[in-house]
Structure 1
Amino acid sequence: MTTFDSPARAGKRIDAPTGTETVGHEWDGIEELNTPLPRWWLYTFYATIVFAAVYVVFYPAWPMVERATAGTLGWSSRGDLVREMGAADAARQSVTERIAVTDIEKLAADPQLMQAAVAGGAAAFKVNCVQCHGAGAAGSAGYPNLNDDDWIWGGTLSEIEYTLTHGIRWEGSDETRTNFMPAFAGMFDKSQTAALTGHVLSLSGKHKSSPAGAQLFADNCAACHGTGGEGSPAMGAPALNDAIWLLGGTEADIARQIEAPRHGVMPAWKGRLDPVTIKMLAAYVHSRGGGQDAAPATPDAPAAAPAAPAATKVASK
């Protein structure tokens, strides 16, 4: 077996130019100096060892089967978080208590309280609502835009709160908002569907109507959507005269909805979120720009209660 060694294995010696001892190796005239570490570096290294030894005594350090060693101080980052969250809860407790006992339609009368409710609702929206409605609440196909003033069941604070509480077509809630549009595929032939589609588009000035389409609309659609396509909040029938469409506004989109309507579902947040959080969410959605004011109560009658179970901006157009 052949081994290869360096040409020279000189013994340790003192390097004349530097006065430092060599390690004893030399290769082609090149030697390595055995320069000692600076004292400050060694002392720093020793200090870190001492610090580590002290740290493992006082703080959580060694991982065990179920938890780490606790340390003699009993400190933990989880404990810090719990204390900070408790302090934050205590700081906003007075505000949440005021929101809880204030009628939702009267929140706006206290601008500071309304501002706090909107801020809390914005935080809750980012956790629970952006998955469908988007970070900016602009929605997408099949998911309503919450920034405009197009509300199927009304956009007052109490109506939005009702929708959030009981959901839309949610099987787990007996008080959920519910409406269903019949499928006309078996009732109309293609020419009738086309005529009705044209009339629906004409209501927002996007198409020319025909007598046949107008008659079909009057016979089959006006009872819910209104003679002029203005919609009916009491029935949850969307307006058809504002060119705002949930599932698309082309002729093909509208014809498909006439023949085989699609119905969205929104979960009921009652039981998932506490009533104060739901109220704050309603305040946030209302503040996006399209919220409606509640009708003033008359001397002879109380303010109107939320409309019959149905959905905010969900029934397809």
Structure 2
Amino acid sequence: MGVIERDPYTGHGTTGHEWNGIKELNTAVPWLIWAFLIGSVAFSILWWILMPAWPLGTTYTKGLLGDDVRKDVAAHLQAAKEERSVWMNRIEKEDFAAIQADPALMKDVRETGHALFGDNCAACHGVKATGGPGFPDLIDKAWLWGGTPDAVFQTIRVGINSEHPDSRAAQMPAWGKDGMLDNTAITNVVAYVYSLSHPGGEGKTSAEQVAAGKKVFEDNCVACHGTDGKGNTEVGAPDLTDDFWLYGGDEASIYNSVYDGRQGHMPTWENRISDADRKILTLYVLDLGRVSP
């Protein structure tokens, strides 16, 4: 029987392993480690007994506590559905003005509308609803078809140049591409339209060219944009006197719009989301415009 070598300083035996003169001691496992291991095993066994744990073919052990996370989730979802139904019923029954006057209800509108907008509208109008070339900014208060709740709701419902039978329909003719106006007339009317939103003129065009463009405008454009150029929400014609431009307000962009024409498109959402959700979206986008700087 071999004699166990002991460390002269600690009295512990050695394992016989040595690295560069350093010998490994054969010390006992600390009691804290034993306590942790024993406690972990005991807790695991207790958890297996109390909670659902072991698969048994088509079922599983239910545990003495009978806890069921799936049932808990279903109960939470049902409670949320019941809570949502309370204010959703009010959304469906109350008019726009009454909803807008109720801070608690508008809080629900903002929370739900944010998700609805992100899922259905942000792809075109942007996550901040500021739009982009060809896609309207929804917070600038420049509404082609009117910015009342009823008008916005109708636009969401039927769309613009969509397949809906009641779709809003609008098209800017291609005055140049289709040969209705020559280049001189187009250049002149562009100068006039530009001057409407830039009254100072900024020295870009002569007064004679603007005057000639006004005559072209009166002969060809007032039916939609009005004699004052302020547009017409009945036909979706934009106001040409403000600084909100769907396709750009510089002279080159205006020239392209006149020459090539424009025809926007917005899908109908009537069969995609419910009336209540369209109502929430209407209130949501109008609220964005109201709170925007």
- Percent identity reads 35
Partner of 1:311: none
Aligned to 2:171: 180
The letter for the 1-side match of 2:277 is T
Cα contact 2:171–2:264 (8 A) shared by 1: no
Counterparts of 1:84-233 in structure 2, within 5 Å, are 84-171=76-163, 173-184=164-175, 185-187=177-179, 188-205=181-198, 207=201, 208=205, 210-233=210-233
When normalised by structure 2's length, the TM-score is 0.83
Partner in structure 2 of residue 48 of structure 1: 40
1:168 positional shift: 2.1
Confirm or deny: 8 A CA contact 1:146 1:290 kept in the other structure: no
3-state secondary structure, aligned to 1:32:
strand
Q: Letter of the aligned partner of 1:274 in structure 2?
A: S
Could you tell me whether the CA contact under 8 Å between 1:198 and 1:213 is conserved in 2?
Answer: yes
Label 1:117 to 1:193 Cα distance change in 2 as closer, same or farther (>3 A). same
Corresponding residue for 1:36? Answer: 28
Aligned to 1:254: 254
**Cα distance, 1:279 vs structure 2:** 0.7
- Matched with 2:18 is 26
Do the aligned partners of residues 222 and 99 (structure 1) sit closer, same or farther apart at CA in structure 2, a change above 3 Å counting? same
2:5 to 9, 13, 33: 13
Q: Deviations over 1:98-154 (max 9, x none)?
A: 111123354335454445434432342233322322232222222211112211110
Q: Distance in 1 between matches of 2:149 and 2:54?
A: 52
C-alpha deviations, 1:10-66, integer Å up to 9, x for none? 9852222122222211133111123332122122123323433454562367699xx
Task: Tell me what 2:266 maps to.
Answer: 266
1:290 and 1:113, CA in 2 relative to 1: closer, same or farther beyond 3 A?
Answer: closer
Q: Which amino acid aligns with 2:172?
A: M
Q: Which runs of 5+ in 2 are unaligned?
A: none
Distance 1:190 1:12, change over 3 A: farther
- SS for the counterpart of 1:289 is helix
Higher helix share: 2
Q: Which runs of 5+ in 1 are unaligned?
A: 1-9, 292-317
Give, in angstroms, the shift of residue 198 of structure 1.
Answer: 0.8
Post-superposition offset of 1:276: 1.3
Structure 1 residues 263 and 47: CA distance shift in structure 2, 3 A? farther
- 1:180-225 CA distance string (max 9 Å, x none): 1111123223322211111111111254552321121111111101
Structure-1 residue corresponding to 2:276: 276
Amino acid corresponding to residue 242 of structure 2 in structure 1: D
CA displacement 1:230-286 (0-9 Å, x = unmatched): 101111111111021011111111111111134332222223222112111111111
TM-score by length of 1: 0.77
DSSP 3-state at the match of 1:145 = coil
Question: Cα RMSD (Å) of the superposition?
Answer: 2.8
| Count of aligned residue pairs for this structure pair | 278
Distance 1:21 1:212, change over 3 A: same
